Amino acid sequence: MFGYVIANKEALTEAETARYKAVYCGLCRALRTRHGQLGRLTLNYDMSFLILVLGSLCEPEPSGGQERCIAHPCLAHAWVSSEITDYAADMNVALAYLNLLDNWRDDRNLVSLALAGLLKSRFGRVKARYPRQCGAMARCIDGLAELEAAAVQDPDAGAKHFGELMSELFVLREDRWSNCLRSMAFYLGGFIYLLDAVIDLPRDIKKKRYNPLTDMKNAGRDEQYFKDILIMLIGNCTMAFEKLPLVEDVSIMRNILYSGVWTRYELALAKQTKRKGERPDDDRPL
């Protein structure tokens, strides 16, 4: 359930694209500095949104520069960083570690187990710094695993678990904006959980794998029904988002919430319509 909170790069201006990449490169750099090259393997764009939101809200002292790295050895690239970037790097590693353990528990994937073992000490350090966040992550991932093990057909229960995970992740420290952040992140988490389920539903049904939407699909719920739920969830998320006093990078954040989060859904639509020989405007993605 990672890789959904990304920008629609086609709708970004040149300056916004450069800024977005610099934030991402700053996160990569923080992962390397705080957790070594292994930490960089956990990198994903989702945490860039966390950096943008908390950076705009908390206004930390930034740093930046240009450098070459393993991924960009020929040309120097810009990076920006702050204490928020360091926090996002720690959360990135914690989520990766717990996700790897979950993969091992579900599939007995030895690669996941080995990587989790390598990240264990790093997770321990992050948990010592942020016990509330890491405790919430562990509880919610365990809760999701229990739902899957019992084949519970209750998408609201799974969405609640992932929403609670995200709501604690987005609160670095308790302040006047904590409730609004939690509300925004809770609905974003629910959206991500159900979006992942909607996209995977055809494949999960075909392969007889767990999906919380299977019974609803078999009962005749169509794709528009699922899409309406997704629209409601992301709508609640954006309502809470718009209450936050965000100024810096707000156009990039709006791009992510109003357009970017639908990118993989639209990709699934395009692939499905291509396989079926249907027109994209048929609006039947899955």
Residue 271 has pLDDT above 90, yes or no: no
**Mean pLDDT of the region 269-276:** 73
Q: What is the pLDDT of residue 281?
A: 47
Rounded Cα distance between 195 and 29, Å, is 30
Condensed to tens digits (0 to 9), the pLDDT of residues 169-205 reads 999 999 999 999 999 999 999 999 999 999 999 999 9
- Helix H segments across the chain? 14-40, 46-58, 83-107, 110-129, 131-149, 155-169, 178-207, 214-218, 223-242, 250-258, 263-276
Tell me how far the alpha carbon of residue 173 is from its chain's centroid. 20
Tell me how far apart the 2 most distant CA atoms of the chain are, in Å. Answer: 56
Confidence category of residue 286, pLDDT binned at 50, 70, 90: low
Rounded Cα distance between 123 and 130, Å, is 10
Condensed to tens digits (0 to 9), the pLDDT of residues 85-96 reads 999 999 999 999
**Mean pLDDT of the region 219-233:** 94
Q: What is the pLDDT of residue 283?
A: 44
Q: Which residue has the higher pLDDT, 106 or 177?
A: 177
- Stated as kind and residue range, the H or E segment containing 67 is strand 63-67
Residue 280, SS3 per DSSP: helix
- CA-closest candidate to residue 180, choices 59, 95, 57: 57
Q: What is the pLDDT of residue 284?
A: 45
Which two three-digit tokens encode residue 66? Answer: 């240009």
Q: Which residue has the higher pLDDT, 178 or 282?
A: 178
Q: Which residue has the higher pLDDT, 277 or 193?
A: 193
Return the residue matching tokens 């000490």. Answer: 121
Condensed to tens digits (0 to 9), the pLDDT of residues 32-50 reads 999 998 888 889 889 999 9
Rounded (10°) CA dihedral 35, 41, 46, 51: 30
- CA-closest candidate to residue 7, choices 255, 208, 225: 255
DSSP state of 60: P
Q: What is the pLDDT of residue 108?
A: 81
- CA-closest candidate to residue 147, choices 193, 212, 103: 212
* 70-79, 132-141, 252-261: the lowest-pLDDT one: 70-79
The domains of the chain, with CATH numbers, are: 9-282 (1.10.600.10)
Return the residue matching tokens 């909607």. Answer: 198
Confidence category of residue 263, pLDDT binned at 50, 70, 90: very high
Give me the chain's average pLDDT, please. Answer: 91
Q: What is the pLDDT of residue 215?
A: 96
Rounded Cα distance between 216 and 258, Å, is 27
Q: What is the pLDDT of residue 87?
A: 97
Please count the CA atoms within 13 angstroms of the CA of 204 that sit on its side-chain side.
18
C-alpha gyration radius of the chain:
19
**Mean pLDDT of the region 132-157:** 94
Confidence category of residue 18, pLDDT binned at 50, 70, 90: very high
